[in-house]
Amino acid sequence: MAEIQHDFFPLIRVYSDGRIERLMGEGVVPAELDPETGVQIKDVVIDPEINLSARLYLPKNVDPVKKIPLFVYFHGGGFVIESASSPTYHKHLSMVATEAKVVIVSVNYRLAPEYPLPIAYEDSWVALNWVASHAKCDGNEPWLIDHADFNRVYFGGDSAGANIAHNLAIRVGSEKLDGIKLDGVFLACPFFWGKDLIDGEAENLGAKNYIEKLWNFIHPKSPGLDDPLINPEKDPNLSSLGCDKVLVYVAGKDVLRFRGFYYKEALEKSGWRGTVEFVEIKDEEHVFHLFAPTSENAVSVLEKLVSFFNQSKF
pLDDT tens sequence across 3-41: 999 999 999 999 999 999 999 999 999 999 999 999 999
| Distance from chain centroid for Cα 236 | 22
Helix/strand/coil for 249: strand
**What is the pLDDT at residue 251?**
98
Percentage of the chain modeled with pLDDT above 90:
94
Edge to edge, the sheet with strand 245-251 lists 40-47, 52-58, 103-108, 68-74, 148-158, 182-188, 245-251, 275-281
Rounded mean pLDDT, 188-193: 98
Cα–Cα nearest to 193, from 267, 110, 256, 146:
256
**Could you report the per-residue pLDDT of 238-295, keeping only the tens digit for each?**
999 999 999 999 999 999 999 999 999 999 999 999 999 999 999 999 999 999 999 9
**What is the pLDDT at residue 63?**
93
Domain hosting residue 173, numbered range: 4-310
CATH of the domain at 252: 3.40.50.1820
Active site residues: 159, 254, 286
Rounded mean pLDDT, 63-72: 95
CA distance 236 to 171: 12
**Could you report the per-residue pLDDT of 123-146, keeping only the tens digit for each?**
999 999 999 999 988 899 999 999
The residues that bridge with 275 in the sheet, in sequence order, are 245
**What is the pLDDT at residue 314?**
45
Using the Cα atoms of residue 285, residue 100, residue 69 and residue 111 in order, give the sign of their dihedral.
positive
Q: Examine the pLDDT at 77 and tell me if it is beyond 70.
A: yes
What is the average pLDDT score of the chain?
Answer: 96
Q: Determine contact, residues 304/279, Cβ cutoff 8 Å.
A: yes
**What is the pLDDT at residue 312?**
56
For every residue of 148-167, DSSP letters joined together read EEEEEEEEEEETHHHHHHHH
Please state the domain count of the chain. Answer: 1
Judging by beta carbons within 10 Å of its beta carbon (0-12, 13-18, 19+), is residue 212 exposed, middle or buried? middle
Helix/strand/coil for 46: strand
